[in-house]
Amino acid sequence: MADGYDVGLACTNGHKVNGSSTHMPEFNAKFCPDCGAQAISTCPQCETAIRGTYWGGALNTSPWVPSAFCHECGAPYPWTVNRLAAARAVAEDADSLSADEQTALAATFDDLLRDTPMTPVAVNRFKKLAAKAGLSTASALREVLIGVISEGAKRSLWGL
């Protein structure tokens, strides 16, 4: 068995199907057992294999989680695009926010996905607007975004 990353298999909604699709093909599936969406193993943009579980070197005991972006071309995977669309829909439904505030809240999402110099600014704006939007909206946004926002944003927003 060679050292390196295996090919990951995830559904278009981001559920992990098999982080070791080459080494353990008996766990592969064409469709997700959680939601029924099609499972993919390559980036739809550049067709590079999705980076799966690392094999070799030190023992890796952490579970494989599909990343938000392709390691080769940087494009967001379908589950990232889907979660962003869902978060924008939640922001649009926030009746306690003005139209400008809904737009400002939605504008924070892209900067929450990556750790950049704008991430702390986005975190601050998100916190203010999500609090004003109310508990229901804030909870829905957390559920939708938690799987794709950056680790730094998760720590700043929810202490994770």
**For 107-127, what is each residue's pLDDT tens digit?**
999 999 999 999 999 999 999
Domain range list for the chain: 1-75, 78-158
With residues binned 3-state (H G I as helix, E B as strand, rest as coil), the percentages for the chain, rounded to 5, are 40, 15, 45
Main-chain dihedrals φ then ψ at residue 60, nearest 5 degrees: -105, 110
Residues 103, 128 contacting (CB under 8 angstroms): no
Going by pLDDT thresholds of 50, 70 and 90, the confidence category of residue 19 is very high
Average pLDDT, the chain: 93
Q: How far apart are CA 30 and CA 63, in angstroms?
A: 21
Residues 137, 95 contacting (CB under 8 angstroms): no
**For 30-71, what is each residue's pLDDT tens digit?**
999 999 999 999 999 999 999 999 887 666 667 899 999 999
Q: How far apart are CA 142 and CA 139, in angstroms?
A: 5
Chain position carrying tokens 């939605």 = 106
